[in-house]
A = this chain, B = another copy of it.
């Protein structure tokens, strides 16, 4: 039965998650047991269950009700022969009605081994209707008939579905086990303020007008960055916080205006300390929650990540690394390649059989604006060893064989080659690589590959504003041996920063921080901040550097992303109890919303410039 099958899945998973068991010895609770715990050994017991009607079946003279709560489902039985009143009452119950049932546990003749309670049922002798329910707008089943918009509006009903409930359980366990682990290593959790101060450097802040200070505003934190650094200066040594952060971005797919970070900072550490500790944390979480032992983490420079994967978030579960072709492809008379800064490609295993139509479709795919490719050259290494290419007018068989050798291609492999400016071409090939992995099902969902990416550039030049931006943030220290280049060639300075990437998803990032006032000042100056701006926005931090700031560094892990990874979903909306949609709206409570004129007045504000 479809419904039972789903439930079975959920319960097995819950057991697997090592959830604590419900304490029935908590003896004064209204219910004697929950709906997921009765077994054959309980036969003969008088029990009281509370829950929702999952469904009612009438077999003529007998009515069966599946009663559901967070913990499972139990079958209630009502016989017209035994009690016709009760039987009629049971028959009349609709889906999602809330009931209390008292009865005797008996062994079922017709056992259902799909669910943990399936060997027993309850002969009910007292039934109370606690609340009824209107017809629900979508079915409370794993395969629901409700679309996302509808389920978001009725999120409280969506939460009753196993998949959504399970995601919240995973989120709870991830937070709980993170705290257990970090507490063991002397981290103390410290909550930093939510009402802080706007610092226009970086992304856009959400602002909160102060009624008590007319014309002044608080800002919501984009991260607890400066506060955690102050905690290190304050000697707290090891800090963490599972912190809410806020960013007023133009909304994009799968971004939330409020999101959650596992935010950590340590004093007297170097990069390697951070790697070791947070590898252990991630290992702990996988072991506790997914029962998986992780392989060792790898370390990759930013340059290598870009070179081999075309991205700083490499998915290393599969090959198809980027291979550069300049020396083989240029100056052979093919103008597209000759004019390009950069020619490179990937080797797609055993796809030489791709049809013209398939190649054309891939070519259209790379030309989409999100990818930005100008075209796609293919080279097929046929099973008979011959080579076929879209550019065989320009390159002879030896040339193409050289390419194939350079790629280590085998018979049956397909080379896909792009050309253009270096960085865009790398990025486009990186996207193509991921796309081919999807199509060829090379992303093993049971495999988790963790990579530290390091040696990022400290600064990025922006042509539009004509200034440098900090690639990580302005508090990141340069790699020590590059310090001297800060004045002469700032674009070649590497940051003492690192990202943690799992299966191609950026799970977190951090750095060893600047703890020296002069260096921080220089950094702000390189970023174009005037001394007045520095004083206004970061005066407290600059000041703190004057009083014995220890060496320190840390990391922030994207908690929503981590939950999504563990839940096996692509969308962080699936692991947030009450998410906002891509336009930043909570469609359930209908927020944001207009406010009273009186409230505006109290805040010393006027609406202005509404389109």
Which A residues contact B (CB, under 8 angstroms)? 19-23, 26, 28-31, 34, 50, 52, 68-71, 96-98, 130-134, 136, 154-160, 165, 168-169, 171-172, 175-176, 179, 183-186, 188-198, 200, 204-220, 226-227, 230-231, 233-238, 244, 246, 248, 250-251, 257-258, 260, 267-270, 272-273, 276-277, 515-516, 536, 539-540, 544, 546-551, 577-578, 580, 583-586, 588-596, 599-611
Q: What are 23 of the A-B contact pairs (CB < 8 Å)?
A: A28-B273, A28-B276, A34-B237, A70-B237, A70-B238, A98-B551, A133-B546, A159-B231, A176-B179, A179-B179, A194-B194, A195-B257, A195-B592, A196-B589, A198-B595, A207-B595, A211-B248, A212-B248, A213-B584, A540-B590, A601-B609, A605-B608, A606-B608
4 residue pairs, one from A and one from B, having the closest CB atoms? A159-B234, A197-B591, A133-B548, A216-B592
- Would you call A594 and B217 a contact (CB within 8 A)? yes
Q: Which residue of chain B has its CB nearest to the CB of A579?
A: B193
Residues of B with C-beta under 8 A to A277: 26
Asked whether, in the complex, the Cβ of B268 is within 8 Å of the Cβ of A592, the reply is no
Known contacts A131-B548, A234-B155: A246-B195 contact under CB 8 Å: yes
The residue from B30, B208, B214, B551 contacting A269, defined by CB atoms under 8 A apart: B30
- Contact between A230 and B156, CB atoms less than 8 A apart: yes
**Distance in Å: Cβ of A238 to nearest Cβ of chain B:** 8
Specify which of B21, B68, B548, B610 is in contact with A52 (CB 8 Å cutoff). Answer: B548
With the chains together, A136 CA to B233 CA distance in Å?
A: 13
Query: Which B residue sits closest to A237, measured CB to CB?
Result: B70
Contact B269 A196 (CB under 8 A): no
CA distance in complex: A285, B55 (Å): 42
CA distance in complex: A4, B381 (Å): 78
Complex contact A195–B599 (CB within 8 A) = no
Task: Report B-chain residues with C-beta under 8 Å of the C-beta of A607.
Answer: 214-215, 604-606
Q: Are B165 and A251 in contact (CB under 8 A)?
A: no
> Taking chain A's interface residues, is the majority helix, strand, or loop, or is none over half, making it mixed?
loop
Q: Which of B132, B165, B234 contacts A236 (CB 8 A)?
A: B165
Extra pairs beyond A52-B548, A168-B190, A231-B577 (12, CB < 8 Å): A19-B186, A20-B185, A22-B186, A52-B235, A69-B237, A96-B548, A97-B548, A133-B548, A198-B599, A205-B599, A216-B594, A606-B606
**A133 in contact with B216 given A160-B234, A236-B70, A589-B540 (CB within 8 Å):** no
Separation of A325 and B149 alpha carbons in the complex (Å): 66
- Are B539 and A590 within 8 A (Cβ)? yes
A188 nearest CB neighbor, chain B only: B172
Rounded to whole angstroms, the CA-CA distance of A215 and B169 in the bound complex is 37
Q: Do A515 and B131 have beta carbons less than 8 Å apart? A: yes
| A578 / chain B contacts, CB cutoff of 8 Å | 192-193, 227, 230
Contact in complex: B186, A23 (CB < 8 Å): yes
Partner of A595, one of B169, B176, B217: B217
| Interfacial chain B residues near A610, Cβ < 8 Å | 214-215, 604
Q: Is the CB of A96 within 8 A of B547?
A: yes
| Chain B: minimal CB distance from A557 (Å) | 15
Contacts of A30 in B (CB 8 A): 268-270, 273
Q: Cβ of A580: which chain B residues have Cβ within 8 Å of it?
A: 193, 195
In the bound complex, residues from chain B placing their C-beta under 8 Å from that of A206 are 195, 208, 218
Q: Which chain B residue lies CB-closest to A260?
A: B191
Please measure, in the bound complex, the distance between the C-alpha atom of A483 and the C-alpha atom of B141, giving whole angstroms. Answer: 37
Q: Which residues of B contact A213 (CB under 8 A)?
A: 583-585, 592
Expressed in whole angstroms, the Cα–Cα distance for A267 and B70 within the complex equals 10
Cβ A157 vs Cβ B547 within 8 A: yes
Q: Which residues of B contact A208 (CB under 8 A)?
A: 206-208, 220, 592
How long is the Cα–Cα vector from A529 to B322 in the complex, in angstroms? 65
Nearest CB in chain B: distance from A178 CB, A: 11
- B592, A184: Cβ atoms under 8 Å? no
Known: A592-B210, A593-B216. A608 touches B599 (CB 8 A): no
- Establish whether residues B190 and A171, one from each chain, have CB atoms under 8 Å apart when the complex forms: yes
A72 CB to nearest chain B CB (Å) = 11
Contact of A550 among B98, B179, B230, B540 (CB under 8 A): B98
Q: Which residue of B lies closest to A70 (CB)?
A: B237
A55 to B210 alpha-carbon distance, docked (Å): 43
- Collect the chain B residues with CB atoms within 8 Å of residue A136's CB: 547
| A168 to B551 alpha-carbon distance, docked (Å) | 22
